[in-house]
Amino acid sequence: MERMTTAQAAKELNINIVGLQTLMRQEKLPIGYAIQKPGSTRWTYIIYKELVDGYKKRVEEGQLC
């Protein structure tokens, strides 16, 4: 699967990067994974283009609110 950066995904979904990261950390945006290593305050975001495209399609079809 092809990966994307948070900036690329945010642009595709027309939201800001901070919003995208927050939604991923809360597991409310099913486009990949937000991972925090134990003892760290930093997060890593793994985002898959196929999941972003599928999410966009569901939004466009009105399947998501």
Give pLDDT tens digits for 10-30: 999 999 999 999 999 999 999
Which amino acid is residue 18, in one-letter code? Answer: V
Model confidence at 63, in pLDDT bands (50, 70, 90)? confident
User: Quick one: pLDDT band at residue 51, thresholds 50, 70, 90?
Assistant: very high
> Can you read off the two tokens belonging to residue 21?
């990261």
Q: Is the pLDDT of residue 47 over 60?
A: yes
pTM listed for this prediction: 0.89
Local structure of 26: helix, strand or coil: coil
Mean pLDDT across the chain:
95
The Cα–Cα gap between 65 and 7 comes to: 23
pLDDT for the residue 64: 73
b/e sequence 25-50, b meaning 16+ C-beta within 10 Å: eeeebebbebeeeeeeeeeebebbbe
